[in-house]
Structure 1
Amino acid sequence: MNTPIRRLAYVVIAMFTSLLLATTWIQFVSADDLRERPGNRRTLIDAYSRERGAILVDGTAIARSERTDTDLEWVRRYDQATRYAHVTGYWSFTYGAGLGLERARNAVLAGTDDSLFYQRLVDVVTGRPPQGASLELTIDPEVQAAAADALGDRRGAAVAIDPRTGAILAMVSRPSFDPNALSSHQLSAVDDAYARLTQDPEQPLVNRAIAGDLYPPGSTYKLVVAAAALESGDYDADTELEGGLTYTLPGTETSLPNFGGAACDPEGRPTLARSVQVSCNTSFAWLADQLGADALREQSERFGFGQQLEVPMTVTPSSYPEDPDDAQVALTGIGQHEVRVTPLQVAMVSAAIANDGELMTPYLVEAVRNRDLEVIEDTDPRTMSRSVSAETADTLTDMMVSVVESGSGTGAQLPGVDVAGKTGTAEYGASGGAHAWFTGFAPADDPRIAVAVIVESATDNWTGETGGLVAAPVARAMLEAGVQP
């Protein structure tokens, strides 16, 4: 064999080897990934030949499949669509499983999950058409409705948790969207709806409760700072703090004022309890400087900061800054600088305090049932961490009760029910905008529901939307719905 022919043979052998390796990789290594891609039309056509499982709240379907008389045998329908949009997500022929539970538990709803293998086997043997499993959620429909109605058209989010178990009782994000517009079989209309949603500067597809651009927590973070102080053993509720009209940030000439320029205490020495009650900026900035970044970061992590959570949707981890200087540490004491949180995380802080310092892992799916209504998966409550001691939790609860009784959170008061809470007004950007926060739980002596609410600033220039004025009433509506017998 002469040299040119031998070289050509090597090239042909290399090409066949590459083709064999590529085919093997696609068929055996990448097959699952390719099959599960949202835009895989062949998989989607196959999926539309079987009934997708329902998503249920208190026994009522908020997402269900309805038979059609077209080649696509089933269409997805969403009842109370905008109320539950960020919980359900959407199922679209064009865009596949998008957002929410439709995406996070796609395999279960589609009937292709490994847990449904024996059901699929029985279906083949008996000739029954294949069907997906249903999801039973932890959502309380009354609390969800209260949150959605109270938020109204304002941008923001609201979350409620059962502090005893971690079950998510409500998850609302505003603005919302209608998943039915994306599940339609009118594909040109679906494309138009998707384009409008993705190009909308209000970002209605973002679940603000657990993801997106995280928020500064403002004064709700003072609960974490107070917890770190109490857990250190160097402070108690009656310890006096430095809290004058202003506080000069360490290493700078910048003065930090109290909200409204008011004094926290006539003598400039408010106790820790008083500082929580009136949300004293100067004393908490001073206290954060005394505690230091490491103590605050460690306490934050015990409340769940930095944790990779799936509820089962992926939750963006909340964070405390990695290497702040002394002035920045002081600012973190009032929930500013680069402290960033999800509303779920803020609700987890209150839930841990409500549950004697024990933080339960949050979850949204109570049970998975197959077509024969047999439970093939259920969720057992699990402890996530010991956030604070029971003694510290009791002290923080008393402080939070005083906030609602006679402090900055009176807007969350409920007749005949002791409510524990904390307000926050969180500045963002450089233009003077501020978001309004409230977090808390009820009843204070036997907590059944913990909440967090954020109402985003309507403009980039703050016009007085404090947590006590606009977020606390939303929380009150949720708490009232959650404590009803």
Structure 2
Amino acid sequence: MNAPLRRVGVVVMVLFGLLFANLNWIQAYKADEYRTSDYNGRVQVDEYKRKRGNIEAGGTAFAVSRETSGELTYQRTYPKGPEYAHILGYKPVNLAETGIEKSENDFLAGTSDRLIANRVKDMFTGDQTGGANVLLTVSKQAQNVAYEQLRNNRQDVSKGAAIAIDPRTGAVQALVSMPSFDPNPLASHDSDTATAAYNKLEQDPDGPLKNRAVGEVLPPGSTFKIVVAAAALENGIGQNTQIPAGPEYTPPTSGQPIRNAVRTICPQPQVTLLTAVTQSCNTGFAQLGVRLGADTVKEKARQFGFEDEDLTVGRLGEGGLGVAASRTGDMQNPDGSTDPAALAQSSIGQNNVRMTPLQGALIAATVGNDGRQMRPYLVRQVLGPDRTTDYYTAQPRELRQPVSGQVANDLRDMMVSVVENGTGRNARISGYTVGGKTGTAQSAPNRPDHGWFIGFALDKQGNPVSAVCVVLEEAGSGGSAEAARIAGQIMRAAINDPGGR
């Protein structure tokens, strides 16, 4: 064999070797990526041959698959549309799924390794067994009230959120973000329709796709005073201890005085901690925060759940809706020393303090539950296609204990005083003990303030039955009072719905 032929032979052998290596690379490492690619039409057709499992709450399905006459056998639909949109998310054909549809996709689609027995059976019968069914913790009554009350709030606010949880278990009773959206067009089998619907929502300046209940952070205003009050109680200050107050307070290094919302709040030089919480005394808490120190305030906030970047709400500790981290922000000068002015503002929930509504509900739930904070969750159970096989049942567990039972008891007394004697009267529920804290937070220059309320309800035996947080963005004067009213309505609905507890 002459030299040119040998060289050609070597080249051909190298090319075959590369082809063989690439084939193995595709089969071993790239097969799953190609199989699940949005551009793989055969996979889509195959996926939609199997009926996707339901997502249900209280015995009613809120995400279902219906048979069609098209190439894709089943169409995903959402009977309640916007009411459950931020919990369920959506399952599109050519876009990424979101919400519980995403976190429980393997079970819902029937592709989970735990459903392999069903798939093996299908190989012999030729059937396409449906996906598993996901049962949520949500109270239908509480969810409906939260959605309708937010949507028709008396402040004519277009943006806000509400979330309610069972303090004893962490089960989410309601979760609503406003404005909401209809997920049905996003699940259309017509890719042009689905893409157009998504683009319209994505470009909406009010951000209807945002899940404000767990994914957005805002300055919490006076609701943060509960965290500061907890730190005070742990550092030798009791409910009836006198703390400095007065009509205004100018922190050291600052020329900007802090004042109370109105002149009649805490005009005295000193008031008790109980009075400061009940009346929401800015001057008292600003001075209290400076006295306690930045490290103490930040550490107590961390113990309540601030700075937690790993929390999700779905199955317990196994994915779900992503939760944004609440932050206490900077309270320091450029040289690293504490800035008293920043600390004073932070102690009344301003400066760089930011909080999710979920975090607000967790604070209230902790106080109502003797200082124990339970891990929040949305998925109660996962049942097989035949509804007899139980693949998952939630077992509530403690997330952390931010305060002792005694401190929680003192905080509970003060929060009850807010509802009975202070700014939270709109949250009262006949026959139940309700505690809470309103908050009014500056949003931005020349914009109305945000209105907040966090609270809990106890039954006649003193057992916590619901905890809630409501925020109305840029609600202006009266926003926190309206948030308290809505919170009371949501907790009342949760209490009256046996399926929600």
TM-score normalised per structure 1? 0.92
Any idea what SS the aligned residue of 2:82 has? Answer: helix
Aligned-residue identity in percent: 41
Against the structure 1 CA distance between its residues 12 and 76, is the aligned structure 2 distance closer, same or farther, given a 3 Å change threshold?
same
Moved more, 40-49 or 176-185: 40-49
Against the structure 1 CA distance between its residues 35 and 299, is the aligned structure 2 distance closer, same or farther, given a 3 Å change threshold?
farther
Alpha-carbon distance, 1:480 to partner: 1.2
1 CA distance for matches of 2:32 and 2:298? 40
Alpha-carbon distance, 1:344 to partner: 0.7
1:459-470 alignment, distance < 5 Å = 463-468=476-481, 470=482
The residue number in structure 2 matching 1:314 is: 322
Any idea what SS the aligned residue of 2:358 has? Answer: helix
Q: Does 1:274 align with 2:275?
A: yes
Q: Does 1:449 align with 2:461?
A: no
CA contact (8 A) 1:443 1:483 kept: no
Q: What letter matches 2:262 in structure 1?
A: G
Alpha-carbon distance, 1:424 to partner: 0.5
CA contact (8 A) 1:183 1:190 kept: yes
The residue number in structure 2 matching 1:177 is: 181
Any idea what SS the aligned residue of 2:185 has? Answer: helix
The residue number in structure 2 matching 1:209 is: 213
Against the structure 1 CA distance between its residues 2 and 218, is the aligned structure 2 distance closer, same or farther, given a 3 Å change threshold?
farther
1:26-425 alignment, distance < 5 Å = 26-32=26-32, 35-36=35-36, 41-97=41-97, 99-152=98-151, 154-212=158-216, 214-232=217-235, 234-265=236-267, 267-307=268-308, 308-311=310-313, 312-322=320-330, 324=332, 325-373=339-387, 374-425=389-440
CA-to-aligned-CA distance 1:325-346 (integer Å, 9 cap, x gap): 3321211101111111111111
2 CA distance for matches of 1:59 and 1:440? 28
Alpha-carbon distance, 1:128 to partner: 2.5
Alpha-carbon distance, 1:322 to partner: 4.8
CA contact (8 A) 1:231 1:389 kept: no
Any idea what SS the aligned residue of 1:428 has? Answer: coil
1 CA distance for matches of 2:283 and 2:18? 68
Alpha-carbon distance, 1:223 to partner: 0.7
Against the structure 1 CA distance between its residues 318 and 28, is the aligned structure 2 distance closer, same or farther, given a 3 Å change threshold?
farther
Against the structure 1 CA distance between its residues 176 and 38, is the aligned structure 2 distance closer, same or farther, given a 3 Å change threshold?
farther
2 CA distance for matches of 1:157 and 1:432? 19
CA contact (8 A) 2:329 2:353 kept: yes
Any idea what SS the aligned residue of 1:91 has? Answer: coil
Against the structure 1 CA distance between its residues 331 and 129, is the aligned structure 2 distance closer, same or farther, given a 3 Å change threshold?
same
Any idea what SS the aligned residue of 1:241 has? Answer: strand
Alpha-carbon distance, 1:358 to partner: 0.4
Alpha-carbon distance, 1:303 to partner: 1.4
Alpha-carbon distance, 1:73 to partner: 0.2
1 CA distance for matches of 2:13 and 2:248? 79
Any idea what SS the aligned residue of 1:92 has? Answer: coil
Any idea what SS the aligned residue of 1:112 has? Answer: coil
CA contact (8 A) 1:335 1:426 kept: yes
CA contact (8 A) 1:54 1:65 kept: yes
Alpha-carbon distance, 1:191 to partner: 2.4
Alpha-carbon distance, 1:37 to partner: 5.7
Any idea what SS the aligned residue of 1:227 has? Answer: helix
The residue number in structure 1 matching 2:449 is: 434
Any idea what SS the aligned residue of 2:194 has? Answer: helix
Alpha-carbon distance, 1:456 to partner: 0.9
Against the structure 1 CA distance between its residues 175 and 40, is the aligned structure 2 distance closer, same or farther, given a 3 Å change threshold?
farther
Alpha-carbon distance, 1:314 to partner: 1.3
Moved more, 428-437 or 417-426: 428-437
- Unmatched tracts of structure 2, length 5 or more: 153-157, 314-319, 333-338
Alpha-carbon distance, 1:8 to partner: 12
Alpha-carbon distance, 1:119 to partner: 2.2
2 CA distance for matches of 1:284 and 1:38? 54
1 CA distance for matches of 2:55 and 2:288? 47
Against the structure 1 CA distance between its residues 69 and 223, is the aligned structure 2 distance closer, same or farther, given a 3 Å change threshold?
same
TM-score normalised per structure 2? 0.89
Any idea what SS the aligned residue of 1:346 has? Answer: helix
CA contact (8 A) 1:366 1:379 kept: yes
Instruction: Tell me how many residue pairs correspond in the alignment.
Output: 474
CA contact (8 A) 1:139 1:364 kept: yes
Alpha-carbon distance, 1:190 to partner: 2.1
Any idea what SS the aligned residue of 1:93 has? Answer: coil
Q: Does 1:480 align with 2:480?
A: no
Against the structure 1 CA distance between its residues 11 and 450, is the aligned structure 2 distance closer, same or farther, given a 3 Å change threshold?
farther
Any idea what SS the aligned residue of 2:44 has? Answer: helix
Q: What letter matches 2:64 in structure 1?
A: R
Against the structure 1 CA distance between its residues 125 and 404, is the aligned structure 2 distance closer, same or farther, given a 3 Å change threshold?
same
Q: What letter matches 1:104 in structure 2?
A: S
Against the structure 1 CA distance between its residues 251 and 12, is the aligned structure 2 distance closer, same or farther, given a 3 Å change threshold?
farther
2 CA distance for matches of 1:330 and 1:12? 76
Q: What letter matches 2:229 in structure 1?
A: A
1:4-19 alignment, distance < 5 Å = 13=14
2 CA distance for matches of 1:27 and 1:261? 74
2 CA distance for matches of 1:376 and 1:194? 33
